[in-house]
Amino acid sequence: MASRRELDIVVIGASGYTGRLVAEYITQKLPTNTKWAIAGRSETKLKSLVESLKQLNSNRTPPTVITTGKLATPELLPLAKRTRVLLNAVGPYHLYSTPIVEACAKSGTHYIDASGETPWIKSIITQFESAAKSSGALLIPAVGLESTPSDLIAFKATQLIRKVWDCGVMDMVGSIHELKTSGASGGTMASGLNLFDAFSASELRQVMSDPYCLSPSHLRPYTKETIYPRNPEPNTYSRTAFQKWTGAWSYPRLGALTTSITARPNEAVVHRSAGLTPLFYGFNFSYEEYMAVSSPVVGMIIHFAIALLSLLLAFPPTRFIFKLLAPYKPGSGPKSEAGKSDVLELRGVAVAEQLAKVPRKALAVFRYEGGSMYDLTALLMVEAALVLLDPKQEGALKNRFSGGGFITPSCLGDDYCERIVDAGVRLDVKQIGDVGSK
């Protein structure tokens, strides 16, 4: 049984930029009796990491060092079978991590990563969902800056609407209200750029144009002609053709909005949450995400800049230039001191299914500051692992999802929300009803 395994947690890719932060978080925050290990291909780098971890917490027994050698399923299966939860920081995920997922799915090992690579996530769900359900493995991709904040504001807003009005959500709009970041790591840049090499243009187009691409196919929302019509109130959900073309529009409580470059990965994860638990979110649920801007003009500029960037990335020579110009190589990123002023605030407004003269709404807010966005990712990954390590929570999740399979961050529920709030995240929700208020 997984609960009787030698280790509680293994961090694979621990010597990389994000993996190191995950290891540091475990060292500083988790109980000293946690049985854990760090894994990777370079024994020298792993031993160097162990020495630096000793300086962070001398009272903790150093993690076991495991060298993985070749990243292939036969070699990774023994590693997966040693631990209850595997935290994967080996990116770009689509290049290196498919065998890691397969090993976990086959061995009943719970799995967490911080991928934002939607095409790859779709492919691993297709390949390994059946094996995970058979083995009892719970696998959770995208536990990080993408796409946990979006998933949790949708969860909390829906939860409040269920509690207050006893119905699901019709439409939800999310907004990156504030984002200050010290920059992207080399691994993040490589992941984004290499997607265009790994997947065909038609594959990328299909995934990026379909916000429901990760949702179970039979659980998509009803159209506006069935059961619940879309709210007809101006500027509460629908955009005009001109607003879609320019990317700039306005939404009550969220203000001026424009296209967000991270919207599609986040929308896909939120819709998978809704597809997995439709009786909670409602069969008419939909989620869209944007970025807050100071004015419509700024919104138009950003929208067309993103469109131009997407066009340029379609050409291999342009991608090659971007790779050369990247400030960090894979495995490195901004200095920790630079991330102290980072801020992320995501807001979301959900409209209840029950139609009323004044639409019934919930406003959810996710805010993190005081550390880098990669510190946030480490926090989110490790706290998710702690939920899976709780036998009561683990059992409830297996019962809820037919033994195992690919779930989402919000599936971890209130226990996860409480853990990350205790760790420094602000996660608030309240009911609102004034459509015209900003």
Flag the least confident range among 195-209, 264-278, 304-318. 195-209
Q: Is 2 in contact with 108 (CB distance < 8 Å)?
A: yes
User: Is the pLDDT at 437 greater than 70, yes or no?
Assistant: no
> For the residues of 114-157, what is the DSSP string, one character each?
----HHHHHHHHHHHHHHHHHHT-EEE---STTTHHHHHHHHHH
Q: Strand 249-251 and strand 169-180: pairing?
A: unpaired
User: Is the pLDDT at 320 greater than 70, yes or no?
Assistant: yes
User: Is the pLDDT at 31 greater than 70, yes or no?
Assistant: yes
What digits encode the pLDDT tens for the residues 339-384? 889 999 999 999 999 766 777 999 999 999 999 999 999 999 999 9
Q: Strand 169-180 and strand 426-432: pairing?
A: unpaired
What digits encode the pLDDT tens for the residues 230-251? 443 333 467 889 999 999 999 9
- Classified by CATH at the fold level, domain 7-144+374-412 comes out as Rossmann fold (3.40.50)
pTM surpassing 0.85? yes
Q: In whole angstroms, what is the distance from residue 255 CA to residue 359 CA?
A: 18
Cα 261 to Cα 84, 90, 272: the distances in Å are 35, 23, 19
Question: Quick one: which of 365, 404, 409 has its CA closest to 383?
Answer: 409
Flag the least confident range among 184-198, 216-230, 388-402. 216-230
pLDDT for res 223: 45
